[in-house]
Every structure is written in C-alpha cells, then in structure tokens.
Chains A and B, each alone.
Chain A
Amino acid sequence: MTPRWIATGLSQDLPKAVAMAGHWQGQDLAVWRSATGRVQAWNDRCPHRGMRLSHGFVRGETLACIYHGWVYGADGVCKHIPAHPALTPPATIRVAAFACVEQDGVIWVAPADTVGAPVALRGLQPLRSISLTCDVAAVLAVEPALSGGDALRGLVQIGGQACEVCLLVQHNAAGLTLHALCAVGVDRIAASRWVEDLRRRAERKGAA
C-alpha cells in the first residue's frame, strides 16, 4: 500500500524564508518556510503562467512567484498581483495546498484531506538526505541488516558499533532519495560517511 505521508526533506535543510522543490508520489511540490518558521507544501505550479513556485521567493508569511511576482498567502490564496497593484485578486486564484507537518526534524507531506500524523521516530536524530540512482531492493541487498519498504530500519555497524538507523524512502524519476536518521548520540560524521558508503554500494549493486 502507498503510504499517505512521505518524507520530502529534513527541517535542517530548509532555513527560514526559503523555498525548495519537493514531491509526493510524482506530484511536484513547492515546500517553503515562512519568516516565522512555518512550513507549507503546495502544488509546484503558479496558476498564472505555470512557473514552478519552488523557484519563488518568500516574504514574511507569503510566497511570491519568481515570474511575475504574484503573492500567495498562508492558505495558497493569491493576495497580490504586482502588474495590477490596485486590484484585489479574486479568491478563486489559489494554489492547491498539501498537508505538511514537521516532526522529528523531518518534513512530511500528504494529500490535503489526509487524517492522522506521520509515524513517530522516537530516539532518532536527522542526519542528511541523499539521492540514489538505484531502487530499494539494491539498498536492502547490500545492507541486509535493514528491513522495511518506505522506512528502512535496522541496526548497522558504524565505526565498529551497532547503531540504529532509519532511512525514509522517497521515490523519484531518477531513483530515490533517502532521508537518513540515526540514534541520538551516534557520531554524525561517521554516520554520514556510512550513508555515503551505502549509496556507493547500493548504486554499484543496482547497476550490476
């Protein structure tokens, strides 16, 4: 079954007043953090002329499109059209919003009507996101200690010690992105190297 909540990034990689590209099951999203820190995920397409909103710019609690500067407020409703400063845009001009929550240092997205929360990841700290050009099977093949489908978990050897890791899987056209978390207290540099090494091994396996 397809999970509703998909991890699309780590909180640490999205600073205040920044927009980035995300996606949910092939649906491109603009994920952005307002000046006060609120994260939202919207359809990555401006209703005006189709420009990707993930290229836009954040001002305060609004996201503006980079093409003609149309400004969208917290609910995705267009608030301002710079070419017509005196006009109040009709409320029908709005960007479809996805459900978006930040939990355990992970940014999760789901369709707007989703009920319930993403799975809790107790005792884990966010590490890094990494893109791979192979599939999940290749990852599991080179690291048998891991198991799972959309969250790969297990005790792996990092720096000679068994450490708990969790890799949240996000599929994309080129392969997948893994959002890695590891047990609190684990050396982050060593864990980060382990993730890179895992990518190398999995991609070699995937290409074979």
Chain B
Amino acid sequence: MIAPEVLNEWYPVAMAAHIRAGQRRVTQLLGQPITVALQGGAIVVTGQGGALHVTEAFGHVWACPGTPAHPLFPIPEALETGRRLVDVGVVRVKCSPLRAVENFLDIAHFPFVHTDVLGAEPHTEVNRYEVQIREDSDEVWATKVTFYQPQAAKSAEGGIVTQYMYRVPAPTAAVLYKTCPVRPDAWDVIGIFVQPLSEDLCDVWPWMALYDDTTPQADLIAFQQMIFLQDRSILENQIPRLLPLDPGMEIPTQADLTSIAYRRWLKKRGLTYGAQMVAA
C-alpha cells in the first residue's frame, strides 16, 4: 500500500514535445504501469485504474496518481525572456528517487566526483550556509552556498567562486540557482525532475534554463550529461539503495544541512516512497 501523501504528489513522466510529436511512452510510476500518449490533442496518462491527473510544465508531462494535494510547483524563471531552456534527455538510474534528489543537493562531492569541473582539491571546504523549510510554500531551501569551481559551467573560463541556492519543491524534484558566468546579476537555473519507476529505480530528467546565447545546444547537453553520468556512478553504488530516513544509519556533517533538512521534510510529510525507515 502506497501512502496517500505519496500518491497525491506530482511526478514527471515524459517530455511533452515527444508525446505531442506522436510518441507513446509506456513506463512505470510508483511501481505501476502507465502509458503517456496523445488522445484527441490532449496528453493523457493512463494507469491500471484509469486516467491520472495530468499537467504540463517546464517541457515535461507531470502526473498525479491520487488526488493532487496542491498544484504543481512553479519555476518563475522558466518564463523569463532571454533564457534558453535545455532539456538534457533522460537517464535511468538504479537507485531510490530520493537518493537522486539528495545527490543533486550536495556540493561536498564536487571535487571528487566532478573533478576539475565543478570542484578540485584542495578547494574542498564547504562553508556554512543557511537552510530552512519555508512555511508558505512548504519547500526546503538552502541559501548562501558558495563553492570554488574550476569550470562552473560550459560558458565559464577558469576558476570562480560560485554561489548557489537550492530548492526542493516536490519530493522527487529539485532546482538549483547558481552564479551565471556571463551575467553576474542573474542566476542560471538547473533542475532535476525524477520519475520514481519504483522505490529503487528512477528516470532522471535534468533540465536547464540558462543565460547563454553562444554555447551550442549540443555542447550544453553533453556537459550536463557528463556531470550526471558521473553522479550515476555514485548513485548506483550507495548501500542501501533506499534513502535511510532514520538517524544512525549514516553520519551527516555540517556540510550536509540541506540533506538533513530534506530527509526531515520527507519524514514529516510522510513522503517515504524510496526511503528506508528502520535501520537494516
């Protein structure tokens, strides 16, 4: 039995453009088979019990298998003029969807997993940053995050101290804002939308809204894909595959404040699909 709190959330299930172009996507959501297809000009998601609630945003199709507890979260920056929306495609990862999100919120791994790109020794220190669960939106936010990066983005030349903000607006989605190398007054926005196929298998859709008019689309995609494949080599080798929510199984430090808040938030809201509750 999957908890109603889990069923009443929104999950990404397809790229809208692919479905509009006539493709059918036969896939899975929370362990159940679903089909995403075009019917009479509308995108329809069908499960064993009939049609699911559907909405379209950020180029993706989102489905809710229960009764939506709230509308899908907004990303206001996605609508700003001058930004390029880049979808990177889908990456299948053998891990809990929650582990995929948590890894996305983590900066301490940059020097070791994205060596010489998003981080490099000896610049490994994670300075104190601020984390809160925002009452109004019920989202996890981390702000005032800074990190030294050798090549922060495809458009960056040389090392810079990058500023970050992280946001968890849904159990299996996260968005980050980072210093934009070509426009210091603006933030690049990068997200991951994670489709929980089952508790320990997911499809991850990286997504970007950038101020970058010069880098070819293919290079932007290749850059982000390289980053994500490096993350996948980690995600598929964490034990256990589920995300432990009970303290004691893993040892966080101050650098993990975002992850700690994310785990608490999941637990408090009963969003435990993909989580391990009791230490094994």
Q: Which residues of A contact B (CB under 8 A)?
A: 28, 44-45, 47-52, 55, 65-69, 81-85, 87, 93
* Closest B residue, CB atoms, query A87: B253
A69 engages B124 (CB within 8 Å): yes
On whether A48 and B125 interact (CB within 8 A), knowing A66-B112, A82-B111, the answer reads no
B109 engages A84 (CB within 8 Å): no
Binary interface profile of B, 231-263, with partner A (CB < 8 Å = 1, else 0)? 001100111100010000111111100000000
CA distance A82 to B124 in the complex (A): 5
B239 engages A68 (CB within 8 Å): no
Q: Which residues of B contact A (CB under 8 A)?
A: 106, 108-109, 111-113, 121, 124-126, 233-234, 237-240, 244, 249-255
CB distance from B116 to the nearest CB of A (A): 14
A66 engages B254 (CB within 8 Å): no
How many A-B Cβ pairs are below 8 Å? 67
- Within 8 Å by CB of B109, from A47, A68, A85, A87, lies A68
CA distance A55 to B250 in the complex (A): 18
* Closest A residue, CB atoms, query B124: A82
B125 engages A85 (CB within 8 Å): yes
CA distance A73 to B183 in the complex (A): 44
On whether A51 and B234 interact (CB within 8 A), knowing A28-B239, A67-B113, A93-B251, the answer reads yes
CB distance from A176 to the nearest CB of B (A): 22
* Closest A residue, CB atoms, query B234: A67
CA distance A44 to B240 in the complex (A): 11
A69 engages B239 (CB within 8 Å): no
Known: A50-B250, A65-B112, A66-B112. 10 other contacts (CB 8 A): A50-B244, A51-B238, A51-B239, A55-B233, A68-B106, A68-B108, A82-B121, A83-B126, A87-B253, A93-B251
On whether A83 and B124 interact (CB within 8 A), knowing A67-B112, A68-B108, the answer reads yes
**B residues within 8 A CB of A85?**
124-125
CB distance from A69 to the nearest CB of B (A): 5
A84 engages B253 (CB within 8 Å): yes
CA distance A207 to B121 in the complex (A): 50
**A residues within 8 A CB of B255?**
68, 83-84
**A residues within 8 A CB of B108?**
68, 82-83
B238 engages A49 (CB within 8 Å): yes
**B residues within 8 A CB of A45?**
239
CA distance A28 to B240 in the complex (A): 12
- Within 8 Å by CB of B238, from A28, A50, A81, lies A50
B109 engages A67 (CB within 8 Å): yes
**A residues within 8 A CB of B240?**
50
A47 engages B250 (CB within 8 Å): yes
- Within 8 Å by CB of B250, from A49, A52, A81, A83, lies A49
**A residues within 8 A CB of B234?**
51, 66-67
CA distance A167 to B229 in the complex (A): 38
